[in-house]
Structure 1
């Protein structure tokens, strides 16, 4: 027999698939484990017991599933949002934010289909069955959830039926005037012209003439002291022989007493008029006034002034809604006519002047009549409108996912992508200017594959579809995406699930269509990407079904992903150092499911990563357990991994709490664990199997401690592979071998909780090193090498199991099984 000493000092490939347990020829084999549970593979090569979890609080309703969503204003201001059935709660820095609770429309069944995109203090939330909402942080303890007001789009195709829409009003400041005071309001002007009302008669064939006057005013006073906001207006010239009398410089002014005037818009150099020309102007104004006037300062070269119309709008905020009547139901909602669900929907109308306006439906009267508020420019007349478009968003057809890209807010639905105007997230009005809003139909490519997510990447808007990933960008290198400059490239990738991808620094990580594998998306050249299945060597882990993704960058780059079987998957991801290792985590406690085959370990239902105040990322977990026979759902934070500290800093229990203060024999406040058996690290001593009674735990024997860590126990376990060191006659894989002992290199490890076992023998061998046990039975941390003899058989394959069972740290830097093998 030959004694062999195969060292394994790298575990960066984590737990690999059972299908690879005999593939010793693979380079990754010597860096892999057969099992890696509650250990995290480190970029440095070793494995470290994961941090425990701190109890933050119970969810509002333990009977219903909840989801966590991050809200990150900055690295110093970050929140975790508890999305539950019809509510949202807010948490930050390990605690709930006051009593903040926001009512929401989202049911339990819809929570994991919600998509979101955030900018500063606003988060846009989308779901195919709900109108888009915007969640706003007004202050740390003040949050609101409102409908998201799309302005002017997006829309369905232009009407191609014979159905017309007839408005009952113009949406203008003044009605169709027939005199200075009729039908309502009062028209005033320079010199008290008796024909001044013709500037407000909706007829460009009539005009107002001011003889030997090159500067003056014409105004309108609302009746009964009413006020209105004006932010759009139109100026129309008279016939072509009198354009030299047209004003070329003017001001729009408002007043609430008729004597003190405020300029709300001004124009200069408005020359080059043609006969009957109408020019349209818009400006910012939120102040209502009773009086408005058009005061011109100069004309186009004549000594007199003459113009046809000055049409000021009445902004929607101060407008009385009016009816819009359809001539039939054909072409409206699949020929069913207007529905109650159309309330809030946009409609675009092409006026007889060739200009599009948009309106919002504020109520539904019948299948052919709705009440609208008109936005922007007033209508030129009340004639039936033949060309119109209804807003594209209706129940079951709302936007499904969103992203920010090049200062645009983008949304997707089915096969389409809609992007706002640059820097104006509310404006989706299409146009031809570079900064106008965009709309791409069949953005998912030639195949009819649904878009599952969109995400911002360097130089492209990534479009994940059920058939693969595409990149939407400007047509040239480093060229902005505009209505006239775009390209939509296909990449060699996998189909995507409806799970939000994560940015992992140099690449994106996403879940494939089956939800049973995770792929890495990397950029190969400008606008071109490729994908690899990062979980292929550990395919048995994501095959349990990935629920969502959360990526931690500090202190180590780790992807966390809850699985449908209740485990928490982990993936240490540092491709530049060839670190790609998966691991599995089962939290302390248990879940007694009512359905056969359900796991008996706690179920991690959601995971969220937010920046921490100390620079270390915070991992929030939403966990379902059975406590004292009752299903409980809790929010917990995974503590940072233990490194370079004292034993009292090690938090290696789950759903736990800590106490610091005077030395005591009893601690309370553990009501969430009532009736459970817990582990305690108190005063440096380990106490196992203590029972929580009435929310309290008592140390045995009257012992007291000033520092306590109390929670549910969990153990970390690593199973090794059959190491192949080779020999004169080739590989020793599959040959009989017997392990005599194990040598391990440890870092800051409590060896009293470390045990080793042969793969086939049932007895766990403890690491016995009395020289490192502190006085009075206190645990201590050891760094160095240890040897553990093992009772093995010749059928053991040279494989061993390592576990750590105490609520204390454990880091294994290297492992060497010493075994005899057949020649």
Structure 2
């Protein structure tokens, strides 16, 4: 159904390739020139480039077979976030012509000794904490000591420099070239981080420079170390395990020293530097520090010694504990005690990290924040990231800080979707909510939650149809639109299935929205039917339509195409030659190309007999007719060719056999003899091409009966042979063949406004159809009285198919009187059919 009021036959589908079982299609638009359809299954993501319709290198993932349909996604620039309740939030990123897959870092910031307020969250030594006293700078989990830093929160044990001899396992970490790397394949030996990282090997994935280790020394730059040898060695070994071998210094705070290099001034500022040139001696120029040092990280102004438990520390003394990787500050004099519990902090779980099989199930981007919600333990809690930092969930009070809040509803409820609209719209099992803030937006100190409706939402990402938000009500059958009402000062959720409540029976499995050429929301149902809602809110137009195929639809995705029409990709489960297969297919364009290229069969493929050539001369003699063409022939003697647009009626569209081919000339043969027509002048124009009856390229439909369109004309159905070839009844140049399907349109019974005809008998004697670019079709009072709609005109040249027809067609209808009368339109040929209006000649009687 089109928004202008007509109805048209769905285009066919084009075969792209095979798909994995249980897979789902997700669009991923990186840029105007890089667009992908992701085929997501339980174990891999296959990115299909829509410009080439070819698959890229598969990305390994790990989901359950039943998880894929429940994944929610949200995109920011070149990264696509995946959320599922049983799996950690993960991110697919496209950069440098390759894809990477990683878990999202949704931890809060580590504790750093700053002043905390009541309710603030932090992370310390592997545990999340919540501050329960205002203005607390005490160490989480300790008494006399106050932490000034902590080690890597996501690693355990020593991280050693990479070596070629060990066999690394999946998930192992190493240090190489001062970078942290993680193995993404098992049995990984001799694969070099930074080298073996291409999409073809995927042995290592770049991690991050370890920048959360706080280790300082009391030994300032420019002096001889005065700490014990064991202390200094411990610090050096630990730094080397993190950043690589080398000598380290902090401006005015020195880690390790040699007599030769202690006067090489690093740089100003509190920056940890690594000495990587030691061949120079006694250089003192500050401006030359870059030839001596490279930056590792920046620290605050803290002096630290290695804590050994020997002796006592005074208040505000700092010490480094190599066991916990922490730097601590003494809060008392004559301090020799070990860390102990305190009343200043309590252990607090991150609402998003509740353990295995309890992760955020809802993901969205709004107001430059990443929103996550819908865990099992905290089903009504939402966390929003720091503005512009989507992996930073460190809760604070500044306007751009991350924050968390819980929706207080009358009944236990779980968040099902989040969408940016006039703030943030949230759907839960209990109702729909609008989250707003101030003029600055939603901030940690300004969160207003207002309930809009109480229908309850299904676990299905809400979608925009143009500028209107739509969502599925819990139960998965009713589709509702969110329209703001000035009278109610709230959003109203109108039911878009009210006049067609049968259309969503068996509930919805997958949805996609197509912007162009018409605004249509597509949905795949669990029974394998494809349905669509043509929707135009501005003109108050909406209408449902249903589509079937020789098989069942399993997934659909829409993505902006290179032309004026969005592309629709589908996964279809079919039975071919007695075996079950899953095919990735693309619905052909609705904006019709040339008649020869029409695709109105499913899982179709196009095959041509050869190239097209320009005809430069056709010369007739008393004994032969010779053709001269431009190009290199892809045909030979005995092949059949056809010539078009020469202007010579005796030659155009007539099949000829090639004889005496030599270079760019050959002679025409017809019925076994040299062809010599009546006298004519060399037309010096035209195109020519090889034609054939045997075509290949249909191996995916072996054993199936296919509908055939050859050069724009319908051919009798044929069976694809064991080699993937078809043989048609007569010659053609371009053949489109695929599985047939039927368009069936039955309008409602005709009634005159005012109900004056209700209950009256009626008889339809004639129907007039206004058609647009149509061929074929049948019409009748019912399926038993259907008659063909004929289009052939005497003006159509012999050998040419009728052109697509636009205009009025009058059809007599064999109809008996009844109280419910309409007309049935049926189309079962691989051709287009569009009806713009149906006009009845009808008689009523009581």
TM-score normalised by structure 1 residue count = 0.69
Q: Please name the residue that 2:236 is paired with.
A: 223
Quote the Cα distance in structure 2 between the aligned partners of 1:193 and 1:699. Answer: 91
Q: Please name the residue that 1:467 is paired with.
A: 430
Q: Please name the residue that 1:327 is paired with.
A: none
Quote the Cα distance in structure 2 between the aligned partners of 1:313 and 1:402. Answer: 40
Q: Does 1:749 align with 2:777?
A: no
Change (3 A) 1:519 1:221: same
Q: Please name the residue that 1:610 is paired with.
A: 559
Aligned-partner SS, 2:66: helix
Change (3 A) 1:192 1:503: same
Quote the Cα distance in structure 1 between the aligned partners of 2:71 and 2:800. Answer: 52
Q: Relative contact order (C-alpha < 8 Å, sep 6+): which is higher?
A: 1
Q: Please name the residue that 2:2 is paired with.
A: 42
Give how far 1:390 is off: 3.3
Quote the Cα distance in structure 1 between the aligned partners of 2:575 and 2:383. Answer: 45
Question: Does the aligned pair in 2 maintain the 1:736–1:821 contact within 8 Å?
Answer: yes
Aligned-partner SS, 1:387: strand
Candidates 140, 144, 150, aligned match of 2:106: 150
Change (3 A) 1:726 1:83: closer
Question: 1:728-749: per-residue Cα shift (whole Å, max 9, x none)?
Answer: xx62233222221211011111
Give how far 1:407 is off: 1.2
Change (3 A) 1:294 1:681: same
Q: Does 1:639 align with 2:666?
A: no
Change (3 A) 1:224 1:470: closer
Question: 1:473-494: per-residue Cα shift (whole Å, max 9, x none)?
Answer: 21x3x43111111101110252
Q: Please name the residue that 1:434 is paired with.
A: 399
Candidates 93, 96, 104, aligned match of 1:136: 93
Q: Does 1:571 align with 2:533?
A: yes
Candidates 709, 718, 736, aligned match of 1:709: 736
Q: Please name the residue that 1:364 is paired with.
A: none
Q: Please name the residue that 1:800 is paired with.
A: 823
Unaligned runs of 5+ in 2: 110-120, 123-127, 133-139, 152-214, 244-250, 272-292, 304-313, 611-690
Q: Does 1:112 align with 2:134?
A: no
Quote the Cα distance in structure 1 between the aligned partners of 2:329 and 2:444. Answer: 24
Quote the Cα distance in structure 2 between the aligned partners of 1:47 and 1:681. Answer: 22
Give how far 1:795 is off: 2.8
Candidates 524, 528, 532, aligned match of 2:494: 532
**What does 1:413-812 correspond to in 2, within 5 Å?**
413=374, 414-441=379-406, 443=407, 445-457=409-421, 459-474=422-437, 476=438, 478-492=439-453, 494-524=455-485, 528-587=490-549, 589=550, 602-643=551-592, 645-660=593-608, 662=610, 663-701=691-729, 703-725=730-752, 731-750=756-775, 753-759=776-782, 762-771=784-793, 775-776=798-799, 778-795=801-818, 797-812=820-835
TM-score normalised by structure 2 residue count = 0.67
Change (3 A) 1:78 1:191: closer
Quote the Cα distance in structure 1 between the aligned partners of 2:300 and 2:472. Answer: 61
Candidates 8, 13, 16, aligned match of 1:56: 16
Quote the Cα distance in structure 2 between the aligned partners of 1:118 and 1:661. Answer: 44
Unaligned runs of 5+ in 1: 1-40, 174-183, 202-218, 231-249, 268-285, 297-306, 315-319, 325-348, 355-379, 590-601
Q: Please name the residue that 2:35 is paired with.
A: 78
Quote the Cα distance in structure 2 between the aligned partners of 1:228 and 1:265. Answer: 24
Q: Please name the residue that 2:620 is paired with.
A: none
Aligned-partner SS, 1:134: strand
Aligned-partner SS, 1:669: coil
Aligned-partner SS, 1:71: strand
Quote the Cα distance in structure 1 between the aligned partners of 2:358 and 2:349. Answer: 13
Give how far 1:83 is off: 1.1
Question: 1:210-269: per-residue Cα shift (whole Å, max 9, x none)?
Answer: xxxxxxxxx999435944879xxxxxxxxxxxxxxxxxxx988999954444447459xx
Q: Please name the residue that 1:176 is paired with.
A: none
Q: Does 1:815 align with 2:838?
A: yes
Give how far 1:351 is off: 9.2
Q: How many residues matched? A: 624
Question: Does the aligned pair in 2 maintain the 1:656–1:709 contact within 8 Å?
Answer: yes
Question: 1:493-519: per-residue Cα shift (whole Å, max 9, x none)?
Answer: 521100111111221111110101111
Change (3 A) 1:655 1:164: same
Quote the Cα distance in structure 2 between the aligned partners of 1:422 and 1:381. Answer: 39
Aligned-partner SS, 1:733: coil
Question: 1:88-111: per-residue Cα shift (whole Å, max 9, x none)?
Answer: 111121655544111111122111
Q: Please name the residue that 2:678 is paired with.
A: none
Change (3 A) 1:76 1:57: same
Aligned-partner SS, 1:116: strand
Question: Does the aligned pair in 1 maintain the 2:701–2:724 contact within 8 Å?
Answer: no
Change (3 A) 1:812 1:774: farther
Quote the Cα distance in structure 2 between the aligned partners of 1:421 and 1:763. Answer: 67
Question: Does the aligned pair in 1 maintain the 2:780–2:825 contact within 8 Å?
Answer: yes
Quote the Cα distance in structure 2 between the aligned partners of 1:398 and 1:624. Answer: 31
Change (3 A) 1:811 1:98: closer
Please report the RMSD computed on the Cα atoms of aligned residues, expressed in angstroms. Answer: 3.9
Candidates 345, 350, 369, aligned match of 1:391: 350
Quote the Cα distance in structure 2 between the aligned partners of 1:350 and 1:472. Answer: 41
Question: 1:432-475: per-residue Cα shift (whole Å, max 9, x none)?
Answer: 1111111012x263432110111112x3111110122101121x
Change (3 A) 1:387 1:682: same
Change (3 A) 1:713 1:260: farther
Quote the Cα distance in structure 2 between the aligned partners of 1:518 and 1:534. Answer: 5
Aligned-partner SS, 1:700: strand
Question: Does the aligned pair in 2 maintain the 1:519–1:531 contact within 8 Å?
Answer: yes
Change (3 A) 1:94 1:74: closer
Give how far 1:70 is off: 1.4
